[in-house]
A and B are shown apart, each in its own frame.
Chain A
Amino acid sequence: MENILKEFERDQKELIHILHRVQEEFGYVSPPAISAIAKHLKISENEIYSVLTFYKAFSLEPRGKHIVTVCMGTACHVRGAPRLVDDASREMGVDVGQTTPDKHFTLETVNCLGCCAIGPVVVVDGKYHSYVKRMDSIIKEYSEGR
């Protein structure tokens, strides 16, 4: 954590950059991380908590090994994305935003990934799946080691 903070100036304008960096490194922003950032930027932990919870990019809890993101943009919506979310949620046994108890999957939605022509789109760990019809095959593909 100290090494990460060294990269940044002690100015509030760095807050979102720091949070991105911490999220990328640890997969979430932990309470000790929040304290460390507060000390570095000389702002209150409350302020950091408010920013952290405002933006979707940051998580307060560790996320799963595989992040499954279903695009909920308009084009994906009219082509059946809501059903993909329902299916994924049922198959994984968690709601959107949650992580399976075995920490294997986190199910997320995103407002639009901007590849509307090839929707509905599902992204798993950064890999794009286009024209998705069913979730079960995608989930199976990433279920190894579960």
Chain B
Amino acid sequence: MERINHPEELAVWKNEILAERIPSKKKIVISSGTCGQASGSLQIIDAVNQELAKKGLKDHVEVKVTGCHGFCQLEPNLIVYPEEIFYKTLQPQDVPQIVEKSILGNEIVSSLVFEDLKTAQKAIKQNDIPFYKKQERLLTENNLKINPTEIEDYIALDGYQALANALFNMTSEAVIAEIETAGLRGRGGGGFPSGRKWEICRKVESNIKYIICNADEGDPGAYMDRSLLEGNPHSVIEGMIIGAYAIGAQEGYIYVRMEYPLAVQHVNLALEQARKFGFLGESILGSEFAFEIHLIEGAGAFVSGEETSLIASIEGRRAFPSQRPPFPAQEGLWGKPTNVNNVETWANVPLILRKGADWYAKIGTRRSKGTKIFSLVGKINNTGLVEVPMGITLREIVYDIGGGIQDNKKFKAIQTGGPSGGCIPAEKLDLPVDYDTLAKAGSIMGSGGMIIMDEDTCMVDVARYFLHFTQEESCGKCVPCRIGTKQLVEILNRITEGNGEEEDLEKMEDLSKTIKTGSLCGLGQTAPNPVLTTLQYFRKEYESHIKSKTCIALVCKGLIAYTIDPDKCVGCLLCLKSCPVDAISGERKEVHVIDQDLCIKCGACLDVCPPKINAVSKVTGRKMARILKNASGKRV
């Protein structure tokens, strides 16, 4: 296929691609995003190709390698079409069996399909799995159907037709009106109405304008954007071109964080293809519109995700944020009007134009429209990416989709919004997920990380973790953030080490207010949220750390001790051998003892003590004080 010079040629191309495809042909789809590859999908791909070659089936079976399908925990997995049989957590040696039964025959290898842990019910098709049932996968479903290195797969799914329609049948105002009617709000965390943002930038008079796709997805525990860029890069590119047309921009940048090498690779490839077929460059699709996109690889700084810092980084400088106003829409990249949106926002754009704003606006709540992708991770049974309509409750996400807490433990909190967000407790689980409700609860929707915490997670430690994170990532430009976060971390360190004082809690609340009001950019303005929400909902945990020197979750090293129960210990030497600092003494078949002065609390002894014996345990509070007292008594 040559360069596409007219929307009609695009339609012809799509039909040609579809004509070559035989729906009844056997097809194996293998999920191979970063999670998949880390779990061994590449070996599965090799095994499939080898087995098909061995059986002489190469020409009769199509093998499609795609991005992530969402249920990362069941990686590596594959789906056999047209029957849609979903095979999970595969080993290369499982492949011959699958080919034998499901490719050569029409049978199912029942040992390799999904089985619900609780009900023992098997699910053959992916969509029969409870994890997928309540999802509404408007953006992520296409990851199943697309080999991200081949543009044809995107074209076959009506790719670039929204762009063609915009360029030939819509004015830039009409495009923006459509996005506004749809009610699309920024998916990067802020939730600003995208149509209004575009309109502001469109109205600024300038012969040069830029648009940026923010793919510096730095929130720990969030990887929606990685999955979209790896699995369906053209959807983001198409969204950007449409946005550029609406705003009147000539150049665009995709800023991808360096920690996502596969996303970088797939975006680069997709940009090349888009140029080759005339979706980028001069005279796009034969229209008068010209636009080019460059990929910029980040260099490992969380603050780059803040839009003014991102702009500084593209300019080749330190990622320092700058005072707003002027907003990037007025003075952005190299002083020119610039519109910055996040990956998921851009990916929604072609969908809205294709299906219509009215259709889109029916999904979600009154003020939050469409779907949102979340990464559901932490102490949850089903971990992975979930795409749900706005307005779904947290409980539905955690229990219906996520399958509840691992190892039947008790739910403690759900952390949303990364270091800018907060921890929401069990009593708020029935809150609907939308921008405004989560903000009211003290957290934010953020870019979409949802980390589930159970009874073994210490909320003071979680607050310390996030503040340590923001303090390290603070760029240091403004004082409230630079010094304030440092002070917060020091107080939290003290509390988790067992040296907290009663005034600390008030001090932290005071300090948090100052940081929130005084900081220059979003990083500082939201940095205290993890502290404030944990203080609000889990104050008792702070108090017990300070007053009774107790870490109920047995996490904070300064507040716990490891001990061996002399009544249970059989003297097997396992813990003694595993101790990296030789803190355990004893002979075979004699009770072992931990020297509390030498112990570094690494937990190796607890791990190796056989569950049957169960002699090693962690203790806190009074029990710990007693053990330490006995230990020091013996020394005297």
A residues contacting B by CB (< 8 A) are 11-17, 19-20, 50-51, 54-58, 72-75, 77-79, 83, 86-87, 90-91, 110-119, 121, 126, 128-130, 133
Let me know if B580 and A87 touch, CB within 8 A.
yes
Closest to B74 in A: A117
CB of A6, distance to nearest CB on chain B (Å)? 18
Contacts A11-B316, A75-B221 given; indicate if A118 touches B73 (C-beta within 8 A).
yes
CB of B217, distance to nearest CB on chain A (Å)? 7
CB of B582, distance to nearest CB on chain A (Å)? 13
- Distance A57 CA – B260 CA, assembled complex (angstroms): 13
User: Can you show 11 pairs from A to B with CB atoms below 8 A apart?
Assistant: A13-B316, A20-B299, A51-B316, A55-B319, A75-B378, A78-B453, A87-B602, A112-B222, A112-B259, A116-B383, A119-B377
Q: Which of B49-82 contact A (CB under 8 A)?
A: 72-73, 75
Let me know if B223 and A83 touch, CB within 8 A.
no
CB of A52, distance to nearest CB on chain B (Å)? 9
Let me know if B299 and A128 touch, CB within 8 A.
no
Let me know if B39 and A74 touch, CB within 8 A.
no
- Distance A73 CA – B419 CA, assembled complex (angstroms): 11
Partner of B34, one of A13, A57, A128: A128
Note all chain A residues with C-beta closer than 8 A to B462: 78
Nearest first, the 5 closest Cβ-Cβ pairs linking A and B are A114-B223, A117-B72, A56-B300, A128-B38, A55-B299
Let me know if B313 and A118 touch, CB within 8 A.
no
Note all chain B residues with C-beta closer than 8 A to A114: 34, 217, 222-223, 226, 259-260, 375
- Distance A51 CA – B313 CA, assembled complex (angstroms): 9
Contacts A74-B465, A112-B218, A118-B73 given; indicate if A55 touches B37 (C-beta within 8 A).
no
- Beyond contacts A11-B316, A78-B379, A118-B72: 16 other A-B pairs, Cβ-Cβ < 8 A, are A54-B318, A55-B299, A56-B301, A74-B451, A75-B383, A78-B453, A83-B602, A91-B580, A112-B220, A113-B259, A114-B217, A116-B72, A116-B221, A116-B377, A116-B383, A126-B261
Name which of A20, A57, A119 has the most chain B CB atoms within 10 A of its CB: A57
Let me know if B299 and A19 touch, CB within 8 A.
yes
Q: Encode contact with A along B303-333: 1 for CB under 8 Å, 0 otherwise.
A: 0000000000111111100000000000000
CB of B165, distance to nearest CB on chain A (Å)? 33
B residues contacting A by CB (< 8 A) are 34-35, 37-39, 72-73, 75, 217-223, 226, 258-261, 296-302, 313-319, 375, 377-379, 383-384, 415, 418, 449, 451, 453, 457, 462, 465-466, 469, 473, 475, 580, 600, 602-603, 607
- Distance A72 CA – B218 CA, assembled complex (angstroms): 12
Let me know if B35 and A117 touch, CB within 8 A.
yes
Note all chain A residues with C-beta closer than 8 A to B375: 114, 116-117
Note all chain B residues with C-beta closer than 8 A to A54: 301, 318-319, 475
Let me know if B220 and A72 touch, CB within 8 A.
yes
Contacts A20-B297, A117-B383 given; indicate if A15 touches B316 (C-beta within 8 A).
yes
Let me know if A12 and B580 touch, CB within 8 A.
no
- Distance A54 CA – B253 CA, assembled complex (angstroms): 21
- Distance A128 CA – B475 CA, assembled complex (angstroms): 29
Note all chain B residues with C-beta closer than 8 A to A126: 261
Name which of B217, B223, B261 has the most chain A CB atoms within 10 A of its CB: B223
Partner of B451, one of A50, A72, A75, A111: A75
CB of B227, distance to nearest CB on chain A (Å)? 8
